[in-house]
Amino acid sequence: MTPVDDERLPPGFSAIVANIGVRDETDDFSVVVADRPCAAAAVFTRSRFAGPSVELSRRHVADGTLQAAVVISKNANVATGDEGASNAREVAQRVAAALDIPVESVLLSSTGVIGRQYPMARVRAALESLGPPTHTDATAVARAMMTTDTVPKVAVAQAGAARVVGVAKGVGMIEPNMATMLAQVFTDAEIAAPQLDAIFRRVVDGTFNCLSVDTDTSTSDTAVVLASGGAGPVDHDVLEAALGDVCLSLTRQLARDGEGAEKLLVVQVTGGRDPAQAKRVAKAVVNSPLVKTAVHGADPNWGRVVMAIGKCEDDTDIDQRRVVVRFGDHEVYPAPVDEPGLARLEELMRAAEVHIGVDLAVGDGAATVYGCDLTDGYIRINADYTT
């Protein structure tokens, strides 16, 4: 991957970052725009309460072309009825007019509190006075997307002559289902939209869809990629690898910054009947509140892991007599763990990154998922979220 200190957007992309009045104290708006129409692909939440921004953006990306990606943070514009849908359309229209591009080439994402209308009088005034896109700093874009995030999330990679730069936000309400929180990836690689879509869906499935903080699927999940073509054609395998590197880095950053989190939790399942079974079991482990609290307390209670595996009751080919569980490189089941072994495991689990491995001994399927520990900080953040 390209060094993270080189966090410029790819050549041909620029941004506007501003406060448009959703919140008074911080930037709450970003738009990244390309100097030409881009091949584009996106995946969205499957929530039955998907917000107007998601519905609008689904329509706009349907032809595989976009030129700008907008984020409004601190307000999700979800469960806001016809007024919310009208406001989303107006925001897209005003941004398109300011950038002198077709409205259909604007993707709009919103994130924050559900059930509140945009403060449209302030939003209109701010959008009318937007200056030209001058930013090339991806970190500024990522920071403007933040809600309860504690740090901006940026990842960069090289794909031949092209750059791949991704930004993301999200630390709570995270159990992706076809997408994740908000993630935007930009590249100057040249690729046709159908091929980009196929690549991006594979990448999302192996990265963002392997992430969970709290098992709650957002109403606003959107992951999008724009490819401008400015750097010319890139080998598709090379581009997919670079996209994978960027999205995996963002996935790990998102998990590590989970609301109240103090540790990154990585669960790897091997020996599944197929990758789907392996992911299902891994998600059962990473989502278990008892496993997550044990990780937080550095308690090597492997019984909670086998409990979580056992919840996959429809996977009748899982035989407890064949399963192996490891914390790091240390087997904890079925081999017994003595007192000195428990002490070593406690030390391992005090690390900032904790690995749990499970071998199902059923087939060749494998999956790795990413999450975090569960702390009292998560409860405090979400108990006080709207107040």
Catalogue the active-site residues: 180
10 upstream amide cis, omega within 30 of 0: no
Longest dimension (CA), the chain: 69
Q: How many CA atoms lie within 13 A of 304 on its CB side?
A: 17
Which residue type does 209 have? N
Is there a contact between 257 and 370 (Cβ–Cβ < 8 Å)? no
CA–CA separation, 67 and 101 (whole Å):
8
Strand intervals (E) in 198-352: 222-227, 264-272, 324-327, 330-333
Q: What is the CB neighbour count within 10 angstroms for residue 255?
A: 26
User: 386: how many CB neighbours lie within 10 A of its CB?
Assistant: 9
- What does the DSSP 8-state code read for residue 105? G
CA distances from 137 to 3, 143, 344 (A): 14, 10, 44
CA distances from 297 to 33, 305, 346 (A): 45, 15, 9
Nearest to 54 by CA among 23, 19, 20, 79: 79
The tokens describing 108, both together, are: 């709009």
Sign of the torsion angle spanned by Cα atoms 197, 200, 204, 206 = positive
Report the amino acid identity of residue 9. L
Burial of residue 387 (CB within 10 Å: 0-12, 13-18, 19+) is: exposed
Positive/negative CA dihedral, 146, 10, 16, 209: negative
Pull the structure tokens for residue 80: 């806001």
Token pair, residue 245, equals: 């590197």
How far apart CA 340 and CA 342 sit, in angstroms, is 5
